[in-house]
Amino acid sequence: MSQSDDSKKGLKTWLKHLFNKKEDSLPTSYQAEAQKIYGVGQLIDESWARGPSVVQTKDKKKDGKKSGPIAVTPPHSSSGSASPSLQASVRSSSSSRISRLLSSDFIQLSDLAQRAWSGCTISLRPFVYRLLLKVSSPYRSRRRAAIRQKRSKYINTVNKLLPTYPCGTAAFPSDTKAIPGNLSPSDVKNLGQILRDLPRHRLDVMAASTPHIQAMMGRMLFVLSRERSSCGYVQGMNDIALLILSVFLGEQCGVCDDDNEFICLPGCEEMVASLSRKARENAESDAFLCFYSLVGELSGLFKHRQPGIHAALTNIENCLKLIDPELSCVLTESGVMPVTYAVSWIVCLLSRQLSVPLAIRLLDTYITESVLGAGKKKPSNPTISAVTGSTLIPSSSTSSSTSTSKYSAVEKESLDKETSIPPPLPSSSTGTKKKKRRRKDSDSAECESYDHEQPIKPHDQVSYGCGSSVATPLSASSSSPNPTCVVTPKPVRYECSNIEYLHIYVCCTLLKNMRDSLIYAAKEEHSLLLSVLHNPIECPDWPKTIKQLEEVLASAFILYEQFESAMSRK
């Protein structure tokens, strides 16, 4: 280990502290935790508020220089090679490029995904999510009618299912018996579990226990458990649903880029309560639609026997063996397999191990990955029926709610500011795009087909949008990236989706980052090792800022590419 004595000592003290600590293992606030460990305030907030100001660009440049060899890279470019200043400008310009893209009549989803890979601003995010998750249409002309239809489908489903607890209200049954009509036994079971889980939520998000948000979550989860009956309701879904709901409530409430994530804002419940019913309905249905679509991408984690989890666990173990044999060996010798700590990392997409802004940032990349991956792996299968649209261009088209127009003003202003930044590296970015592995040549053809495809099926299981992507088998994944790392599908043969794949590499990168702590802990005491792995948020090497997370993503992506090229060579 190349650690200096000093830092070793620090590590030792920290681990001792962790070991001797007899406190509640759940930190009351992740941010407070970050402050405690790093002695800095507002760490997360500052880095998160990636507004388009020039000042911030400067800061980022500075940060970029300080950071190690791995720096944030534009989507799918050859990472690490660009100079820090270049990277900084890539990032600051990326949102302006996204918004330019969003204002065109037709949006190439793969282009959008590439640009959004390195994250999007709070105000652009809802549009990007709706598009990438096929809730909205890439054609501007179709968006409004289509999104209206999808929203009303959800609202009608809720009305039929929960007649006395309509969409957009703060009402939700407190008991499974409170619902009229015949619920199937599995419905009762799902609803019962949802009801028990609603009041239990992450401790740093107090807003999640307020009536409106709870009722919205309850309806989303219950409808989902019925619409995706192969998955039902699985604990952990609620953690992801909350993040997505936060995105769309933030949109309706007009959260601007400088704010924290909506769900973290003080008084966000009051903001929700003061929205019009229509606006709340829009937020809830958009959140549901996106969530529905995302769960489709992750169905392996949730469906019966959860093959996705088993595959991920095996893959993490195998991948770690390759990227850090020493650490892998230490863990194996201690009898600590990924199953003992990584299940909740996998199921909740790390949302329990990261602060809300970081978890949403991670979601940004994962969602783009679904599009990029699908493009690559299924080039000739234009089955995705993205039929709806929302108001995608904030300034021109508007959805029916008044709050959206309020939001539009904010958005427009920020766009103006952004475009004043000189657009950097057009050549390098297009160059990397060309050799992008996921770039799909048939993209436009596929998108064309949205035009001709059955526009809107009124009552079809698939009609929320991404039906085709439910458990999409992807070709490149079941066999392992390397001959020595054989994936043994446990009970069910399963091929990870693209999001699941990237997630595996993210988990491996996080482990590798913590290697010194882990190796030290393993030498010290078995239970110390387990404690570290079960409370990674307390580890100094765990990402606490957006920048740190993006570094993790960049390294994870390098792994992803490495393994994939090893595959194709084979």
Partner 1 sequence: MPKRILKIIVLGNASVGKTSLMTQYVNRKFSIQYKATIGADFMSTEAVIDDDRITLHIWDTAGQERFQSLGASFYRGADACVLVYDITSARSLTSLDVWRDEFLVHTGGKEETFPFIVIGNKCDKEEERTVEKERAELWCKSKRGKPIEHFECSAKTGQNVHEAFLHVTKLALEQDTSDAQEVFIPEHIDVDHDTKPDQGGCGC
Chain positions contacting partner 1, by CB under 8 A: 22-26, 193, 196-197, 199-203, 209, 232, 234-236, 238-239, 302, 304-306, 309-310, 333-335, 337, 339-344, 347-348, 352, 491, 523, 525-527, 530-531, 534
Shortest Cβ 539–partner 1 spacing (Å): 15
Question: Is the CB of 71 or the CB of 521 nearer to partner 1?
Answer: 521
| Residue among 236 and 465 whose Cβ is closer to partner 1 | 236
CB closer to partner 1 out of 112 and 521:
521
Q: How far is the CB of 200 from partner 1 (least distance, A)?
A: 5
Sign of CA dihedral 337, 339, 344, 345: positive
Amino acid at residue number 521: A
Identify which of residues 433 and 534 has a Cβ nearer to partner 1 in the complex.
534
Is the CB of 304 or the CB of 493 nearer to partner 1? Answer: 304
Whole-angstrom Cα distance, residue 271 to residue 254? 10
Please, which residue, 238 or 390, has the CB nearer to partner 1? Answer: 238
Q: How far is the CB of 198 from partner 1 (least distance, A)?
A: 10
AA identity, residue 307:
P
Name the minimum Å distance from CB 233 to partner 1.
9
Query: Helix, strand, or coil here: 514?
Result: coil
Rg value, the chain, Cα: 23
Closest CB 24 distance from partner 1, rounded Å: 5
Query: What secondary structure letter does DSSP report for 169?
Result: S
DSSP 199: T
Strand partners of residue 195: none
Taking alpha carbons only, the member of 155, 163, 154, 157 closest to residue 181 is: 163
Least distance (Å) from partner 1 to the CB of residue 339? 4
Closest CB 265 distance from partner 1, rounded Å: 20
Which SS3 state, helix, strand or coil, does residue 170 take?
coil
Residue whose CB is less far from partner 1, 20 or 484: 20
How far is residue 322's CA from residue 563's CA, in Å, rounded to a whole number?
Answer: 10
Spatial CB neighbours of 469, under 8 Å, sequence gap ≥ 6? 134, 293, 296, 297, 370, 374, 384
Q: Under 8 Å CB-to-CB from 488, ≥6 apart: which residues? A: 314
* Cα–Cα distance list, 461 to 112, 217, 279, 379, 389 (Å): 27, 21, 25, 24, 19
Minimal distance in Å, beta carbon 425 to partner 1? 42
Q: Encoding tokens for residue 382?
A: 């234009």
Query: In angstroms, what is the minimal distance from the CB of 196 to partner 1?
Result: 4
Longest dimension (CA), the chain: 68
Nearer to partner 1, 5 or 23 (CB): 23
Closer Cβ to partner 1, 147 or 347, answer by number: 347
CB of 336 to partner 1, least distance (A): 10
Nearest residue (CB) to partner 1, 421 versus 530:
530
- Cα–Cα distance measured from residue 164 to residue 108, given in angstroms and rounded to the nearest whole number: 41
Give the integer Cα–Cα distance in Å for 476 and 481: 9
How far apart are CB 82 and partner 1 at their closest, in Å? Answer: 38
Q: How far is the CB of 31 from partner 1 (least distance, A)?
A: 18
Nearest by Cα to 261 from 390, 404, 102, 121: 121
Whole-angstrom Cα distance, residue 119 to residue 87? 13
Whole-angstrom distance, CA of residue 224 vs CA of residue 298: 13
CA dihedral 499, 361, 234, 296 (to 10 degrees): -40
Residue 3 or 209: the one with the smaller Cβ distance to partner 1 is 209
Q: How far is the CB of 197 from partner 1 (least distance, A)?
A: 5
Query: Cβ–Cβ contacts within 10 Å for residue 305, how many?
Result: 12
* 78 φ/ψ sector (left φ>0, alpha ψ -120 to 50, else beta): beta
d(CA 363, CA 359): 6
- Give the residue with the Cβ less far from partner 1, 196 or 406: 196
Residue found under tokens 């009051």: 270
**With respect to partner 1, which residue has the nearer C-beta, 70 or 343?**
343
What's the rounded Cα separation, in Å, for the pair 52 and 419? 9
Say which residue the tokens 């993209």 belong to. Answer: 443
Q: Please state the closest distance from residue 527 (CB atom) to partner 1, in A.
A: 4
**Surface-to-core class of residue 496, CB atoms within 10 Å of its CB (0-12 exposed, 13-18 middle, 19+ buried):** buried
Identity of the residue, 113 or 240, whose beta carbon is nearer to partner 1 in the bound complex: 240
